[in-house]
């Protein structure tokens, strides 16, 4: 008899708003691709999370499809992976409500991303922004996830997810798998090109980040203008030379070169040559994605097929978890 070995499960999500950046690529999307053969993976475009800031509906719709096209263009195989829109699987919202009742205000108040976003959107500090990490916990726990590939900025949210999952399990028995994080060895926190002590973010001004869809000449221009310092050394020292350290991390993440090898190769040659080498590595990584993106984003029938099958397959798994949760907590049964 053929024996099927159960693969471990991965879940991760990316918000569709704005331009996906090199940070999203190195911190998350690239790992999605590296892990797709070994694991049973779900990758979601988390449009419900995007609602925490005001969105233009037509723009959001476009951004959702753009993000799905980038997922596919980056090499994710929709047969092997479940790629879907979060809002098309209503169980995310259903479980989030229940988990809200197992999450403490104090825990949410400690979330650094909430504090940052509340400062950035002072005119719209809505309840969704506050409970955002609970929805994220629901995303992950809904699929009995073992591993979550994310960048460093999501570590605190993952910790909260683990705490809430464990708290629930302590009351009702082993309902949820408690997930681990999976972080890139280098590049878990790609920094802004203009203010290298801040994370590269798609919601910041254009010249601070490289978008996955930026054309090669733009990438080169942005990297040439990236802030370095006046030491003129290519040595990895994030405290003293955060700009150079960031560019070294990008090069290391994309080329596999160690920091020492980068220093040996580029130290003493001037920043121009070093920055061009970083640009070459970034272009080599992104250009093939851009070529495939143009084809994929124009193929509506293909996108339709991916989104429909993704939502169906994700719903099946989500449904199984929710039946278990409903029964455990004592909701009224559908059948007496």
Structure tokens at 302: 């293909």
Stretch of 145-153, 170-178, 228-236, 270-278 lying at the interface with ligand TYM (CB under 6 A): 145-153
Active-site residue, 202 included: yes
Closest residue to ligand TYM, based on beta-carbon distance: 27
231-243 in b/e form (b: 16+ CB < 10 A) is eebbbbebeebbb
- CA angle (116 as vertex; 253, 152 as ends), nearest 5: 25
Nearest distance, CB of residue 31 and ligand TYM, angstroms: 9
Nearest distance, CB of residue 204 and ligand TYM, angstroms: 10
CA dist., res. 271 & res. 304, Å (int): 46
Active-site residue, 240 included: no
For residue 46, state whether it binds ligand TYM (rule: CB under 6 A): yes
Beta-bridged to residue 43, according to DSSP, are 12, 83
Footprint of ligand TYM on 162-191 (CB under 6 A): 188-190
Nearest distance, CB of residue 115 and ligand TYM, angstroms: 15
Cβ-in-10-Å burial (0-12, 13-18, 19+) of 251 comes to buried
Closer CB to ligand TYM, residue 86 or residue 297? Answer: 86
- Which residue among 9, 19, 33, 49 contacts ligand TYM (CB under 6 A)? 49
Nearest distance, CB of residue 267 and ligand TYM, angstroms: 25
Stretch of 146-154, 169-177, 275-283, 289-297 lying at the interface with ligand TYM (CB under 6 A): 146-154
3-class DSSP state for residue 149?
Answer: strand
Q: How many residues bind ligand TYM (CB under 6 A)?
A: 25
For residue 27, state whether it binds ligand TYM (rule: CB under 6 A): yes
Nearest distance, CB of residue 333 and ligand TYM, angstroms: 30
For residue 23, state whether it binds ligand TYM (rule: CB under 6 A): yes
CA dist., res. 148 & res. 188, Å (int): 13
For residue 92, state whether it binds ligand TYM (rule: CB under 6 A): no
Footprint of ligand TYM on 229-288 (CB under 6 A): none
Active-site residue, 335 included: no
- Which residue among 10, 28, 76, 83 contacts ligand TYM (CB under 6 A)? 28
Structure tokens at 136: 């994220």
**Neighbouring residues of 281: CB distance < 8 A, sequence distance ≥ 6:** 250, 251, 254, 255
DSSP run (H or E) holding 255:
helix 242-255
CA dist., res. 133 & res. 138, Å (int): 9
In which order are the strands placed within the sheet that holds 40-45?
A: 82-85, 40-45, 9-14, 147-149, 180-182
Residues annotated as catalytic (active site), given as ranges: 117, 199, 202
Q: Where does this chain bind ligand TYM (CB under 6 A)?
A: 11-15, 23-24, 26-28, 46, 49, 136, 139-140, 148, 150-151, 153-154, 188-190, 199-200
């Amino acid at each position: 008899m053929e024996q099927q070995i159960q693969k471990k499960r991965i879940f991760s999500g990316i918000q569709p708003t704005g331009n996906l950046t090199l940070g999203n690529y190195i911190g998350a999307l690239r790992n999605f691709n590296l892990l797709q053969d070994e694991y049973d993976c779900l990758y979601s475009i988390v449009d419900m999370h995007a609602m925490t800031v005001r969105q233009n509906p037509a723009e959001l719709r476009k951004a959702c499809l753009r993000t799905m096209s980038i997922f596919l263009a980056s090499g994710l195989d929709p047969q092997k992976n479940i790629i879907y829109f979060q809002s098309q699987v209503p169980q995310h919202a259903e479980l989030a409500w229940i988990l809200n009742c197992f999450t403490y205000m104090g825990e949410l108040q400690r979330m650094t991303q909430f504090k940052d976003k509340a400062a950035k959107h002072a005119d719209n500090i809505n309840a969704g922004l506050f409970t955002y990490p609970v929805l994220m916990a629901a995303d992950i726990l809904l699929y009995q996830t073992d591993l979550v590939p994310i960048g460093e900025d999501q570590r605190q949210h993952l910790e909260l997810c683990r705490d809430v999952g464990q708290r629930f399990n302590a009351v009702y028995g082993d309902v949820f798998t408690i997930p681990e994080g999976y972080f890139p060895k280098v590049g878990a926190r790609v920094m802004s090109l203009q203010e290298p002590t801040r994370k590269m973010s798609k919601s910041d001004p254009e010249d601070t980040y490289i978008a996955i869809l930026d054309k090669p000449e733009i990438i080169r221009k942005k990297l040439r203008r990236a802030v370095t310092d006046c030491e003129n050394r290519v040595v990895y020292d994030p405290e003293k030379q955060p700009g150079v350290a960031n560019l070294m991390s990008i090069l290391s993440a994309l080329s596999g070169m160690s920091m020492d090898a980068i220093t040996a190769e580029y130290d003493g040659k001037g920043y121009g040559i070093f920055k061009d080498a970083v640009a070459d590595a970034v272009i080599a990584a992104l250009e093939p994605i851009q070529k495939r993106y143009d084809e994929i984003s124009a193929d509506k029938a293909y996108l339709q097929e991916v989104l429909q099958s993704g939502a169906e397959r994700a719903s099946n798994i989500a449904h199984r978890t929710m039946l278990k949760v409903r029964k455990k907590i004592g909701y009224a049964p559908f059948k007496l």
